[in-house]
Structure 1
Amino acid sequence: MEITDIKFRHVEQSGKLRALVSVTFDGVLAVHDIKIIDGHDRLFLAMPSRRMPDGHFRDIAHPVGSALRVELEQEVLDAYRAAFLQ
């Protein structure tokens, strides 16, 4: 799967949430509401999730393998840094 588009829909400068992102794969599948979170030691991605009746959150969509997760995080964070941290 190839990432064909990355759009930043909401960008924050305060708090832990840095941005909400939409990513398109192969020009045919879009995943919305991926979050860029400012963690203790680095930025990371949080996949879209839903609160379950027991109060826990469960991912709605997520990479199944680590290779796509690493590629997705690297490309999205590189684009974020290039657009907003220069």
Structure 2
Amino acid sequence: MDSQTTPMKIDVKIGSIHRDGNVRAYASVNLNDCFAIRNVKIVDSTKGLFIAMPSYKAGSGEYKDICFPVTKEFREQLNQAVFQAYDLVLTQNHEQNQRKAEMPTSDQMPEQDTGIQMAGL
């Protein structure tokens, strides 16, 4: 096996963003178009944002990851891809909100003639 590793293709889709609570977003990750991971969480802690892999609660009450990066290098690559996708969605949402704020509301718009005239009988 080759000791050189090629970067894995990582596609990330941010499914939902939450403003309240510690979980800021959920993501789905697709690795090399071969393996999908659902329910990846972006969590806000006192130390900042981190990526939490899907997990289950063991009998001891401890949470265990169902799947996880084995190497430090791949963990960094995965984290970078998820954070980039998250930042992109936040930026897009911010831009959409700015455009909505700049659009005049119906009470601010000038009245327009509908162009319909009724003929008298």
User: Is TM (by shorter chain) over 0.5?
Assistant: yes
State the partner residue of 2:89: 83
- Give the whole-Å Cα distance in 2 for the aligned partners of 1:2 and 1:61: 17
* Larger CA Rg, structure 1 vs 2: 2
Shift of 1:41: 3.4
Q: Does 1:33 align with 2:39?
A: yes
Q: Does 1:2 align with 2:6?
A: no
Is 2:15–2:26's contact at 8 Å kept on the other side of the alignment?
yes
- Give the whole-Å Cα distance in 2 for the aligned partners of 1:41 and 1:58: 21
The residue type paired with residue 64 of structure 2 is R
State the partner residue of 1:56: 62
Point out which structure has higher relative CO (alpha carbons under 8 A, 6+ apart): 1
Report runs of 4+ in structure 1 exceeding 4 Å deviation: none
Give the alignment's TM-score, normalised by structure 1: 0.90
- Give the whole-Å Cα distance in 1 for the aligned partners of 2:76 and 2:13: 18
Q: Deviations over 1:34-67 (max 9, x none)?
A: 1000121321101110001121111100000000
Is 2:13–2:85's contact at 8 Å kept on the other side of the alignment?
no
Gaps spanning 5+ residues in structure 1: where? Answer: none
Which residue of 12, 16, 21 maps to 2:18? 12
SS in 2 for 1:6: strand
- Give the whole-Å Cα distance in 1 for the aligned partners of 2:86 and 2:70: 23
Identity of aligned residues (%): 35
Structure holding more strand per residue: 1
Q: Deviations over 1:1-44 (max 9, x none)?
A: 221x2111221011110011110000111011110001213211
